[in-house]
Amino acid sequence: MDEQLRFTVFSGKRLHIGVCGSIASYKALDLLRRWSDAGITSGVTMTAAARQFLTPLAFEALGASPVYTTLYAGGENDSLDRDIFPHLSPGASADAFVIVAASASTMARLAHGLADEILSCQALAFPGPLVIAPAMNPRMWSNPATRKNWEILQKRGHILVEPDSGRVACREEGAGRLAKPHEIYAAVLKALSPQDFSGVHVMVTLGPTREFWDPVRFWSNPSTGLMGASLAVAAFLRGATVHALCGPGAPWLPRGIARHDVLSAKEMYSMANDLWPTMDTGIFTAAVADFAPIPLGEHKFKKGSAENLTLRLTPNPDILHSLGRAKKPHQKVVGFAAETGNLEQEVRRKLSAKHADMLVGNLVNEPGSGFGAATNSVFIADAQGRSDYLPELSKPDLAWRILTWLCAL
């Protein structure tokens, strides 16, 4: 699983998973397992068609409890012979409901309130967030009836995970393939998240930059972009509109995040400048190269051409400093500092020198807190005079804590 989705804050949440008759529904088993690894417990409902492809036992074996298959208690193969109101149970116990894979008929039932079997009854009686991830033949998906039902469900405010395009199980090509599991996984985390960043426009810079000297050689650093990706994902889950300015090699991000891939510091600076006037918050995690080699030209440098080669460097623009200085009163700026010593002193100095509202520093030479590590332990200081050391946390959990701190600024 992608590291940037590994939040522990969802542990203890409860999910209800609806499964329809599609061969893609086998992926619900894998997702159930991933949610369970995050500490999220699940109940499952299988339609009659789903049971033609998969058995309740498969879900039970992976920890789902209960698994509903019929509206009426005591039915054959029903693990719920004492629950006389099975259609109301998920509504009373689950924090979110996801249908994966959703068939055209289940979508039609939901769009029109037709509650003639267990899954649609439970979904209609569910008051919380509903996530729908369909999968079907491309001709069924593009049929005007399905398009209309999708539009109705969209207008109703459900969290929809649009299918992908490509080759489907029946070997036809087109839109209708179930979205990638991590897209559905992230949509469910969003359904389980507080929406305290709703309406907030957040820009995150992440990853390294690459400063080319000749067409085949560049100056860079070992940043992986995991800290920035975790912040972009956490802000997205909590309802923000997120723009991610990604240096080369930055990790996968959910498709709900606007991703802008850039290469050099100058490209990142130019993109950040363009976006900044419409942003409320800027989070600058990118390990921007402070210097760029003066380019040699359009041809490759041949290794025999000079002895004692000297590389000349020029300073790059400081994106955080420049946007921090130009910020409007409603805009907030968060900077990061990768240090090798004097952590508190450097964090406080950069907080003021860069006109930041919050600065997060770590020691890159400590185990569990450097470039590419899955975890980080940091010292944070803010412009209101508050500061704290946060212990070693996974980068997604640290991102969650930073956003909570930012909310209170």
Could you tell me the CA-to-CA distances from 206 to 163, 198, 216, 337, 352 in Å, in that order? 28, 22, 23, 13, 22
Full DSSP string of 74-142: T-TT-S-TT-S-TTTHHHHH-SEEEEEEEPHHHHHHHHHT---SHHHHHHHT--S-EEEEE---HHHHH
Q: What are 245's strand-pairing partners?
A: 205, 260
Count, residues in the chain? 409
Of 161 and 364, the one with the shorter C-beta distance to ligand C5P is 364
- Yes or no: say if 275 and 243 are a contact pair by the CB < 8 Å rule: yes
Q: Could you tell me the smallest distance in angstroms from the CB atom of residue 217 to ligand C5P? A: 20
Out of 20, 121, 170, 246, the active site residue is 170
Of 284 and 400, the one with the shorter C-beta distance to ligand C5P is 284
Residue 170: active-site member: yes
Binding residues (CB under 6 A) for ligand C5P: these are 205, 265, 284-286, 288, 290, 316, 318-320, 335-337, 350
Of 290 and 392, the one with the shorter C-beta distance to ligand C5P is 290
Residues in contact with 303: Cβ distance below 8 Å, sequence separation at least 6, in sequence order: none
Residues in contact with 84: Cβ distance below 8 Å, sequence separation at least 6, in sequence order: 73
Q: Could you tell me the smallest distance in angstroms from the CB atom of residue 181 to ligand C5P? A: 31
Of 177 and 354, the one with the shorter C-beta distance to ligand C5P is 354
- Yes or no: say if 21 and 247 are a contact pair by the CB < 8 Å rule: no
Q: What are phi and psi of 291, to 5 degrees?
A: -130, 155
Q: Could you tell me the smallest distance in angstroms from the CB atom of residue 393 to ligand C5P? A: 19
By annotation, the residues acting in catalysis are 170
